Amino acid sequence: PPVPPGWVQQVRALPLARVLHRLGAGRTRAGDPVNPRVGAELLVGTGQHLRAGEPWLRVHHEGTLSAEGRRELQDALCLGPEPPGEPPALVAETILPSEPHPEPCRVSQ
């Protein structure tokens, strides 16, 4: 079902991290493989108004996102009927690529 309209109060990072970890983005112990193709793009920020049906998260993965995982991600978004009182201080940085490496980058396993 589409998300009802509301104001983004916060996005809980821990549920996002747990789901992404299960999809392969993290290690349980040293030496475990990491899938570099798994990740997420947050499409909203605190204080932003979200219309009904408007996406707020894009998840990249290989395989299938379970119904439980989808529910966990949906629960990570906290919406309210009004804008949040005091938005958190915003620090924005733009990171540019460095000079090309003389050797190709290796993918961590």
Q: What structural domains does the chain harbor?
A: 6-80 (3.90.1170.30)
What gap in Å lies between CA 63 and CA 47, rounded to an integer?
Answer: 33
Q: What pLDDT, on the 0 to 100 scale, is given for residue 85?
A: 85
Q: Does residue 44 contact residue 91 with C-beta atoms inside 8 Å?
A: no
Q: Can you give the pLDDT at residue 57?
A: 96
Q: How many CA atoms lie within 13 A of 33 on its CB side?
A: 8
- Specify whether the CB–CB gap between 61 and 38 falls below 8 A: yes
For residue 98, what pLDDT is reported? 84
What single DSSP character describes residue 103? S
Which positions of the chain have pLDDT values less than 50?
Answer: none
Q: What is the pLDDT of residue 101?
A: 73
